[in-house]
Amino acid sequence: MKVSIIGTGYVGITTGACLAYLGHEVTCIDSDERKIALLRAGKTPIYEPFLTELLADAQRNLRYCTKYAGAIQDADVIFIAVGTPPLADGSPDLRYLSQAARGIGEHYAGDFVVVVNKSTVPIGSGNWVGSLVRESYEQHHGHKANGHFSVASNPEFLREGTALSDSLYPDRVVIGSDDERSLETLYSLYRPILDQTFAPPPYLPRPEEVGAVPLISTDLASAELIKYAANAFLALKISYINEIGQLAEKVGADIIQVAKGIGLDARIGTRFLQAGIGWGGSCFGKDTAALVSTATEYNLSMPIVAAAREINRRQRDRVVEKLLGELKILKGRSIGLLGLAFKPNTDDLREAPAIDIARKLIDRGCKVKVHDPVAMERFQQEYGDMGAVCCTTPEEVADDVDALVLVTEWQQYRELDWEALAAKMRSRIVLDGRNALDRARLTRFGFRYVGVAG
């Protein structure tokens, strides 16, 4: 099939690489010329494990463009995968979505195309995108758009860091549309994934337990709500364990054991029950805010989701409070942050706890030293003026600091020579923001080990 994808961010380029690998003819479009130039040169604009390899393997089925003209006119399916960042009131900024929809209407010239919202968009956006596409088509073509377009929702559930595996071997595929022909088209598009009939790339082997992938075929509004409801549920699972963690700390319980003890109940599950600094990233904060904002439009409140957000906000304050508790005075202290990305295996800094924590510490008069295995360049571009000292190694961060904070649980931080780091520090305090380090081992090296919960 001929597929065009608008937006080559984390979602768009992952979708493009996977569909091209499966044999579809894919054109990726992005208004950011720098991103398209990198992709044309065989490089990737984001850090995602195995993306370079998959793009290279699928190269013969991939094209990259900065303009809609010549990139979508005869597509069978057009994905919209542009950003939907939050506005100040929590509702998503739909300007990129609107530009994409109008661009499709202007440049599509075939008989029938399915326009797919892959961006996370508020409930009702499917109908809105449909009306924008048709309006723009009629304006530019001078005749009715009847029958040429159908809009579907195909929410994305990938996790950055494992985006390619999540896309090739998903837990489920959700397709929402009120039109039978769109459902059929998308079913054909995804068939190799649904039936798992493709040969896996050697670097992304099919997990043994993966069989046929369930398809949820539903109406537009339900598909749109599934995405928000899923993200809010994951976010509140994390906030729940963090709330329990606060009590665990007071009563002297071990939150890691508590999480294991409840998570092994199959009804609960162990994932997303790691107590720590809390969630970050481009999705949970934005999507929970959007859910609350949508509910408000219908005169509904969402106290559970709102509480999950508040607990998450507090976890970041707790890092500063804990450092204050240990050091008594923060002004003039030197604090090292290990990890900037919102989670390991990505360079994404959107709503990363490290940024918030660094700001709070700088505001209190601390010198803040930072390191991340892959996000340093992005940090310098986006937050270079914040006043943090960028270090090239964790050892450089440790040099002469009053405390180290593990903010992102990169595997390489777990494996550091902590004994050597201890020798470099002014005082041996480590705040394990992810409860990921070996407390007993660090204590042996003379560290005062402080967890975030429990």
Ligand X SMILES: NC(=O)c1ccc[n+]([C@@H]2O[C@H](COP(=O)([O-])OP(=O)(O)OC[C@H]3O[C@@H](n4cnc5c(N)ncnc54)[C@H](O)[C@@H]3O)[C@@H](O)[C@H]2O)c1
Written as one string, the DSSP assignment of 298-331 is: TT---HHHHHHHHHHHHHHHHHHHHHHHHHS--T
Q: How far apart are CA 347 and CA 349, in angstroms?
A: 6
**Binding piece for ligand X, criterion CB under 6 A, among 78-86, 192-200, 325-333, 427-435:** 78-86
Tell which one of 4, 8, 242, 345 touches ligand X (CB under 6 A): 8
Site track 160-189 with ligand X (rule: CB under 6 A), x = hit: x-----------------------------
Within 13 Å and on the Cβ side, how many CA atoms surround 287?
A: 27
Which tokens in the block code for residue 234?
Answer: 């994951």
Give the residue from 454, 352, 445 showing the smallest Cα distance to 404: 445
Q: How far apart are CA 76 and CA 423, in angstroms?
A: 62
Considering the rule CB under 6 A, would residue 82 count as an interface residue with ligand X? Answer: yes
Considering the rule CB under 6 A, would residue 101 count as an interface residue with ligand X? Answer: no
- Active-site amino acid positions: 283
Contacts 24+ apart (CB under 8 A), 440-443: 442/418
**Binding piece for ligand X, criterion CB under 6 A, among 53-61, 152-160, 257-265, 427-435:** 152-160
> H-helix or E-strand containing 19?
helix 10-21
Minimum Å gap between C-beta 437 and ligand X is 26
Which tokens in the block code for residue 42?
Answer: 């065989």
The residue (of 287 and 372) whose beta carbon lies closer to ligand X is 287
Site track 231-270 with ligand X (rule: CB under 6 A), x = hit: ----------------------------------------
**Binding piece for ligand X, criterion CB under 6 A, among 155-163, 189-197, 249-257, 363-371:** 155-163
Considering the rule CB under 6 A, would residue 5 count as an interface residue with ligand X? Answer: no
> Under rule CB under 6 A, how many of the chain's residues touch ligand X?
26
Considering the rule CB under 6 A, would residue 102 count as an interface residue with ligand X? Answer: no
**Binding piece for ligand X, criterion CB under 6 A, among 9-17, 244-252, 369-377, 442-450:** 9-17
Considering the rule CB under 6 A, would residue 340 count as an interface residue with ligand X? Answer: no
Residue nearest ligand X, Cβ-based = 9
> H-helix or E-strand containing 420?
helix 418-424
119 within 8 A of 128, measured Cβ to Cβ = no
Q: Give the neighbor-by-neighbor strand order of the sheet with 403-406.
A: 389-390, 367-371, 334-338, 403-406, 429-432, 448-451
Strand-pair category, 403-406 with 389-390: unpaired
312 within 8 A of 382, measured Cβ to Cβ = no
Distance of CA 137 to the CA centre of its chain: 33
Q: How far apart are CA 96 and CA 30, in angstroms?
A: 11
Q: How far apart are CA 225 and CA 124, in angstroms?
A: 10
Minimum Å gap between C-beta 6 and ligand X is 5
Tell which one of 44, 52, 99, 162 touches ligand X (CB under 6 A): 99
Tell which one of 18, 22, 29, 291 touches ligand X (CB under 6 A): 29
Tell which one of 47, 96, 240, 379 touches ligand X (CB under 6 A): 96
In one-letter notation, the amino acid at residue 323 is L
Considering the rule CB under 6 A, would residue 372 count as an interface residue with ligand X? Answer: no
Considering the rule CB under 6 A, would residue 158 count as an interface residue with ligand X? Answer: yes
In one-letter notation, the amino acid at residue 297 is E
Tell which one of 4, 5, 9, 277 touches ligand X (CB under 6 A): 9
Tell which one of 4, 91, 120, 239 touches ligand X (CB under 6 A): 120
The residue (of 6 and 175) whose beta carbon lies closer to ligand X is 6
Considering the rule CB under 6 A, would residue 153 count as an interface residue with ligand X? Answer: no
Which tokens in the block code for residue 137?
Answer: 């088509």
Considering the rule CB under 6 A, would residue 224 count as an interface residue with ligand X? Answer: no
119 within 8 A of 47, measured Cβ to Cβ = no
The residue (of 158 and 452) whose beta carbon lies closer to ligand X is 158
Site of tokens 């961010």: 9
Tell which one of 30, 76, 224, 347 touches ligand X (CB under 6 A): 30
Written as one string, the DSSP assignment of 200-223 is: PPTTSPPPTT--SPPEEEE-HHHH
Minimum Å gap between C-beta 170 and ligand X is 12
**Binding piece for ligand X, criterion CB under 6 A, among 94-102, 126-134, 298-306, 317-325:** 94-102
Considering the rule CB under 6 A, would residue 84 count as an interface residue with ligand X? Answer: yes
The residue (of 33 and 415) whose beta carbon lies closer to ligand X is 33
Under rule CB under 6 A, which residues in 259-318 are in contact with ligand X?
282-283
The residue (of 67 and 260) whose beta carbon lies closer to ligand X is 67
Q: How far apart are CA 301 and CA 133, in angstroms?
A: 33
Per DSSP (E only), the strands in 39-148 are 62-65, 77-80, 113-117
Minimum Å gap between C-beta 34 and ligand X is 9
Site of tokens 């109908």: 127
Per DSSP (E only), the strands in 119-188 are 149-153, 173-176
Minimum Å gap between C-beta 118 and ligand X is 6
List residues near ligand X by CB under 6 A. Answer: 6-12, 29-32, 35, 81-84, 96, 99-100, 119-120, 156, 158, 160, 282-283
